[in-house]
Amino acid sequence: MNIHLSLPAVALGVLEADATEVSLVNEPLAHEMDAICDEKRRAFTLESLADSAPIRAVREMFRRWGLDPSKYRPSSEALLRRVIQGKGLYRVSNVVDIGNIGSIETGWPFGCYDRSNLHPPIAFRHGAQGEMYEGIGKRIWHLEGRPVLADSQGPFGSPISDSTRSMVTQASRDILVVIYAPASADDASITSVLERLGSRLSRFAAATATRALICR
């Protein structure tokens, strides 16, 4: 699924997964999640995290979009801060947890979406005046001037917080994952991340097929 880019400084890694089995508990995945969280907690303090290359690159990407990353924290940085503080990752579902693992591994925001609720064409752009959506957790997000993924029905996702319209539930089968990588990341690095993501969706969510591309 191609995504039209209207914002600078970003490369999107895009992966579609078919016939996934969304579950709330997956013990092998939980063990992998715990191991990666332990690794990140040992590797960083809050101070050293702020100085790490991936976090600085994502923050600069936000600034290029006209957004203050200290006020609107990238989702990847928010997850890593939780981990470093010993709070761990939220346990949501196997598919969302796989996205969150990838996000803390790379420092890049990931978004996981139910493709059945999306209506192409899809663009990554600034939100327009009056646009808003109900974010996961019931908060209403006013989107004017903020980076959003939008389909023919309007915005549904963001590297800050996603909408309830497109969220993955236990009824979801066909999944779209979008990785918001800084444009400085080379294609080989993004491809490696997409391959690891596809492998996890196959192993832990029984995805029968995955398709990936990079949008610049």
Which CATH number covers residue 114?
A: 3.50.40.10
Closest by CA position to 93, among listed 24, 19, 139: 24
- How many angstroms separate the CA atoms of 91 and 11, rounded? 28
What is the per-residue pLDDT across 68-87, written as a single tens digit (0 to 9) for each?
999 999 999 999 999 999 99
pLDDT the model gives residue 138: 75
Give residue 147's domain range.
3-215
What is the per-residue pLDDT across 120-162, written as a single tens digit (0 to 9) for each?
999 999 999 999 999 998 789 999 999 999 999 999 999 999 9
DSSP 28: H
pLDDT the model gives residue 8: 97
pLDDT the model gives residue 128: 97
pTM of the model: 0.96
Which residue, chain included where needed, has tokens 């693992």?
101
pLDDT the model gives residue 137: 84
Angle at 148 between CA 142 and CA 152, to 5 degrees: 100
Which residue, chain included where needed, has tokens 């918001």?
180
Pairing of strands 122-126, 147-151: antiparallel
Three-state DSSP at 80 gives helix
What is the per-residue pLDDT across 25-41, written as a single tens digit (0 to 9) for each?
899 999 999 999 999 99
What's the token pair of residue 186? Answer: 């080379």
Phi then psi for 147, rounded to 5 degrees?
-70, 130
Contact 109, 67 (CB under 8 A): no
Exposed, middle or buried by CB within 10 Å (0-12, 13-18, 19+), for 129? exposed
How many domains is the chain built from? 1
